[in-house]
C-alpha cells in the first residue's frame, strides 16, 4: 500500500492545532503516511501579506494560532480541489455551515476510496423526520432538505460525496491541544480494524491520547447533545442551586443522551459514553463551556437569550439552544416528549415558553426514576 | 405483614437529614411502615439540656441540623439496644469508625430477619488480602483483622451481625438534602424485588429521588474510590492544568473504578456507574469536595498533607489519601499496579514518594489507551 496522503480542510484555531499533530505523526510514520500534509487555507490578508504565504514561510498561523510552530511538512494550499485531489484522507475542520459548500466543490474531484474524518464540533442537529432508515434514499434526502431533519455533519459529508466518514470528538479544546496539554479524544469509525489503527496512529501523540470505537454516530451525537445538557446546567447555576442538584441535572441529561442515541441510531455501545466524547466532554462543557455561561446569565439577568449571547460571546453563538430546538421538534413529531423532559425543558426555557424555575419540576418524575 | 419498624442509628448532620425523610415517608405510608421512627442519639449536653430531650420536645436537632424541623413521629432514644430491639430496618448513619462498636453492642439483641441500610459515606477501604471468596469463613475474618484487608462498611455490619445489608449513596450532601434541594441517591440491594420497592418508598421524596440497583458493592465502592480520583483532580488543579486535562484525569479515574470493582467484586453492572452513586457523585467530589481542595492546596503550597488538612478541614480528615494507601497496598499485593496507574500515583504523590508533576507521565500510557 502506498503511503496515505492527508489533507486538513480548514486552518482556523482547531484546524491549525490538529495540523500540528498530523504533521508530526505523518512525518514520524512515513511508511504509513505521506509526510507532506496539505492544509487548505481560505486565503485572506494578514498584516499586508497573504496568510498562506505567511504559513508556508514562517510555519505558523499568526492569525488563528499565534506562537505555535507548525511542522514544516504541513503545506498551506489555497485551492480546495488542488489541496484534496490526490488525498486519501480528508480531515474536515471547518465551521459546520461551510461543510455542504466545501463538499459540493469537491464532488467529482476526489480519489476513489478516500476517507473523511470530521472534527467539526459546533454541530447542530437538523431535524430528520422520516424515521430511521439508513442509508437514506433520494426521497429521504429531499425530505431532509425540505422539512429540516436531523442530519449529522458526517451524514452531510457522506450524502454529498458518497465516501466513508469517521469522526473525532472529545474533551479537547483547541487552545489546550495547541499547548500540548494532556488530553484525550475519541475516534468513531465503523470500518475496518486496519483503518481504525491507522487513524489512531495519525492522531495520537504523547499528549493527545486516542481511543477508537466503532459506533461513530454515538461519538458525534454526544458532541451535539452535550450542549443541551450544558444549558440545563447553566440554568441550575443561574438559579443558585447547589452542587448536588447540578450533578443530578447533568446525570439525567446524560441518560437522555444515551436514550436518544439508542432510539434514533440503534446499536450504540454503552461503553462509548465512558469515552472522552461522552462523560469527559460533557463534564467540561457543563462546568466551563459557553452554553453553560450563556444560560446562567440568561437566568440571572432576565435579558433575552440573543442579547446575552451577543454580550458574552462576541459574535460566536451558543449551539445548545439551537440544538434543543431541533431536538424538540423531532421529539414532538414522534410524540416522545415525555421520555426526554430535560431536552424539552431546555428548549422551552430558552424560547421563553417556560420559566427557568420550572426546570426542576420537569425532572422530578423523570422516567429514569421509575423502578427498574 | 405487620408494618416495618425503622430505626435511624445516628443523629449527626446526615442522620438528622435522613430522619426528616424517613419520618415523613413512614408516616405517609403507614400501611407499610410503623410511623414511629426511632432515632438513636448518643446523649450529650446542649445548651445545658440533654440533646435527646431537646429533640423530643422541640422536634429539631439544634446541634447538628439547626433550623430544620424533624417530623414529630421521629423519637430520640438514647439507649442503643432499646432503640433497635423491635426494629425491622436499621439505618446506619454513624461515622465509620463507630460501626464495629455499635454492631458489637447490638449482637444478640435484634429481631430475626432485620435489614440494615448503610448510609455511611466516609468509607475507607481496609485491605483484604485473602482474595475474592464470599462469604468469608472464620479464618478469612481472622486474617482481615490481623493483616488489614479491604472491607466495606456493609461487610463489617454483615460480618458482625449476620444480617442483610443494603447501601444508599450518591451525590447528596446533608446540607443540600436538609434544604430540600433536588437531588438523587442510589440504593444498592441484592435481595428481593419487594424489599427493593419498600426501600425506595421509604427513602424517596419529591426532592430526593431514588434509583435502586442490585449490585450493592458497586454502589458502595464508588463512594469510597471516588475520593482517590478527587485527589488526582485536585493535583491537576494545583498544577494549573486546564479543563480538558482535568476531564481526562477524572475519566481515567472512573475507568479505574470500574476495573477495580469488576476485578474484586465481579458481576457489577456497567449501568450502575451511570447512577447518582457513580458519575454524579464523582463529578461533585472532583469539582467541589474536600479531597480535591486538600490536594490542590498540598500541591500549590508544598506543605505536608497533614498540615494542609488541619488548616483547611479543621479536624475533619480527607478520606482520599487513606483510601489510596489501602488500595495501593492491595494492588501491590496482587501485582496489579500497572493496571491502575492513577490510583497508584495518587498514593505515591500523597505519601511524598512522587512529585505531583509526575502525575501526567503516569497516565500517558494508561491501559485505557490501548487499542480495543
Per-residue pLDDT 10s for chain B (372 aa) are 789 999 999 999 999 999 999 999 999 999 999 999 999 999 999 999 999 999 999 999 999 999 999 999 999 999 999 999 999 999 999 988 899 999 999 999 999 999 999 999 866 665 443 433 434 444 444 444 344 456 789 999 999 999 999 999 999 989 899 999 999 999 999 999 999 999 999 999 999 999 999 999 999 999 999 999 999 999 999 999 999 999 999 999 999 999 999 988 888 999 999 999 999 999 999 999 899 999 999 999 999 999 999 999 887 788 899 999 989 988 988 899 999 999 999 999 999 999 999 999 999 999 999 866
Across the interface, do A206 and B364 touch by the CB < 8 Å criterion?
yes
Across the interface, do A254 and B279 touch by the CB < 8 Å criterion?
yes
Across the interface, do B363 and A182 touch by the CB < 8 Å criterion?
yes
Does residue A272 sit at the B interface (CB-CB below 8 Å)? no
Task: Write down the pLDDT at residue B21.
Answer: 98
Task: Write down the pLDDT at residue B142.
Answer: 43
Does residue B270 sit at the A interface (CB-CB below 8 Å)? yes
Encode pLDDT of A294-331 as tens digits: 999 999 999 999 999 999 988 778 889 989 998 998 88
Segment A63-89 mean pLDDT: 97
Does residue A352 sit at the B interface (CB-CB below 8 Å)? no
Encode pLDDT of A215-267 as tens digits: 999 999 999 999 999 999 999 999 999 999 999 999 999 999 999 999 888 88
Q: Is B118 annotated as a binding residue?
A: no
Higher pLDDT, B9 or A148: B9
Taking a contact as any Cβ pair under 8 Å apart, which residues of chain A between 288 and 307 contact chain B?
A: 288
Q: Is A319 annotated as a binding residue?
A: yes
Task: Write down the pLDDT at residue B125.
Answer: 62
Encode pLDDT of B252-300 as tens digits: 999 999 999 998 888 899 999 999 999 999 999 999 989 999 999 999 9
Across the interface, do A209 and B366 touch by the CB < 8 Å criterion?
yes
CATH architecture of B218-369: Orthogonal Bundle (1.10)
Task: Write down the pLDDT at residue A122.
Answer: 67
Task: Write down the pLDDT at residue B96.
Answer: 87
Task: Write down the pLDDT at residue B132.
Answer: 38
Q: What are the chain B neighbours of A270 within 8 Å (beta carbons)?
A: 270-271
Task: Write down the pLDDT at residue B133.
Answer: 40
Q: Is the pLDDT of residue A113 over 60?
A: yes
Nearest-Cα distance to chain B for A47, in Å, is 31
Nearest-Cα distance to chain B for A75, in Å, is 29
Does residue A279 sit at the B interface (CB-CB below 8 Å)? yes
Segment A24-47 mean pLDDT: 97
How far is the C-alpha of A39 from the C-alpha of A74, rounded, in Å? 7
Q: Is the pLDDT of residue A133 over 70?
A: no
Q: Is the pLDDT of residue A137 over 50?
A: no
Across the interface, do A279 and B279 touch by the CB < 8 Å criterion?
yes
Domain A4-214's class? Answer: alpha beta
Task: Write down the pLDDT at residue B316.
Answer: 79
Q: Is A329 annotated as a binding residue?
A: no
Encode pLDDT of A171-186 as tens digits: 998 989 999 999 999 9
Q: In whole numbers, what is the pLDDT of chain A averaged over residues?
A: 91
Across the interface, do A212 and B371 touch by the CB < 8 Å criterion?
yes
Segment A35-47 mean pLDDT: 96
Does residue B358 sit at the A interface (CB-CB below 8 Å)? no
Half-sphere exposure at residue A215, Cβ-oriented, CA atoms within 13 angstroms: 21
Q: Is B324 annotated as a binding residue?
A: no
Annotated domain spans of chain B: 4-214, 218-369
Q: What are the chain A neighbours of B179 within 8 Å (beta carbons)?
A: 242
Q: What are the chain A neighbours of B181 within 8 Å (beta carbons)?
A: 241-242, 244-245
Task: Write down the pLDDT at residue B98.
Answer: 92
Encode pLDDT of A92-107 as tens digits: 999 888 999 999 999 9
As a three-state string, the secondary structure of chain A is CCCECEEEECCCHHHHHHHHHHHHHHHHCCCCECCCEEEECCCCEECCEEHHHHHHHHCEECCCEEEEECCCCEEEECCHHHHHCCCCEEEECCCHHHHHHHHHHHCCCCCCCCEEEECCCCCCCCCCCCCCCCCCCHHHHHHHHHHCCCCCHHHHHHHHHCCEEEEEECCCCHHHHHCCCCEEEEEECCCCHHHHHHHHHHHCECCEEEEEECCHHHHHHHHHHHHHHHHHHHHHHHCCCCHHHHHHHHHHHHHHHHHHHHHHCCCCCHHHHHCHHHHHHHHHHHHHCHHHHHHHHHHHHCCCHHHHHHHHHCCCCCHHHHHHHHHHHHHHHCCCHHHCHHHHHHHHHHCCCCCHHHHHHHHCCCHHHCCC
Taking a contact as any Cβ pair under 8 Å apart, which residues of chain A between 240 and 269 contact chain B?
A: 241-248, 250-251, 254-255, 258
Amino acid at each position: 500500500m502506498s503511503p496515505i496522503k492527508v489533507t486538513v480542510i480548514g486552518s482556523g484555531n482547531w484546524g491549525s492545532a490538529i495540523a500540528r499533530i498530523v504533521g508530526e505523526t505523518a512525518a514520524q510514520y512515513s511508511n504509513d503516511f505521506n509526510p507532506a500534509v496539505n492544509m487548505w487555507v481560505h486565503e485572506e490578508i494578514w498584516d499586508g501579506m497573504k496568510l498562506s504565504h505567511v504559513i508556508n514561510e514562517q510555519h505558523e498561523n499568526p492569525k488563528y494560532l499565534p506562537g505555535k510552530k507548525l511542522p514544516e511538512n504541513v503545506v498551506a494550499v489555497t485551492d480546495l480541489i488542488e489541496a484534496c485531489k490526490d488525498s486519501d484522507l480528508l480531515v474536515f475542520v471547518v465551521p459546520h455551515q461551510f461543510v455542504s459548500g466545501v463538499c459540493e466543490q469537491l464532488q467529482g474531484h476526489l480519489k476513489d476510496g478516500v476517507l473523511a474524518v470530521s472534527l467539526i464540533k459546533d454541530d447542530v442537529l437538523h431535524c430528520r423526520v422520516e424515521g430511521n432508515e439508513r442509508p437514506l434514499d433520494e426521497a429521504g434526502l429531499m425530505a431532509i432538505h425540505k422539512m429540516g431533519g436531523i442530519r449529522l455533519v458526517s451524514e452531510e459529508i457522506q450524502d454529498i460525496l458518497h465516501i466513508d466518514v469517521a469522526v473525532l470528538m472529545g474533551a479537547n479544546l483547541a487552545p489546550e491541544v495547541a499547548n500540548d496539554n494532556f488530553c484525550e479524544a475519541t475516534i468513531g469509525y465503523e470500518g475496518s480494524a486496519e483503518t481504525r489503527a491507522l487513524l489512531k496512529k495519525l492522531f495520537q501523540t504523547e499528549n493527545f491520547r486516542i481511543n477508537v470505537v466503532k459506533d461513530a454516530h454515538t461519538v458525534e451525537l454526544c458532541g451535539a447533545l452535550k450542549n443541551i445538557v450544558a444549558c440545563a446546567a447553566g440554568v441550575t447555576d443561574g438559579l443558585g442551586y447547589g452542587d448536588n442538584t447540578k450533578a443530578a441535572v447533568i446525570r439525567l441529561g446524560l441518560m437522555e443522551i444515551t436514550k436518544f442515541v439508542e432510539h434514533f441510531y440503534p446499536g450504540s455501545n454503552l461503553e462509548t459514553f465512558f469515552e472522552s466524547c461522552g462523560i469527559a466532554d460533557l463534564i467540561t462543557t457543563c462546568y466551563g463551556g459557553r452554553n453553560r455561561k450563556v444560560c446562567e446569565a440568561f437566568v440571572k439577568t432576565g435579558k433575552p437569550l440573543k442579547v446575552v449571547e451577543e454580550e458574552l460571546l462576541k459574535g460566536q453563538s451558543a449551539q445548545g439552544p439551537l440544538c434543543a430546538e431541533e431536538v424538540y421538534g423531532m421529539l414532538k413529531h414522534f410524540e416522545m416528549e415525555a421520555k426526554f423532559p430535560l431536552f424539552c425543558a431546555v428548549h422551552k426555557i430558552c424560547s421563553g415558553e417556560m420559566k427557568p424555575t420550572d426546570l426542576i419540576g420537569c425532572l422530578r418524575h423523570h422516567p429514569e426514576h421509575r423502578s427498574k
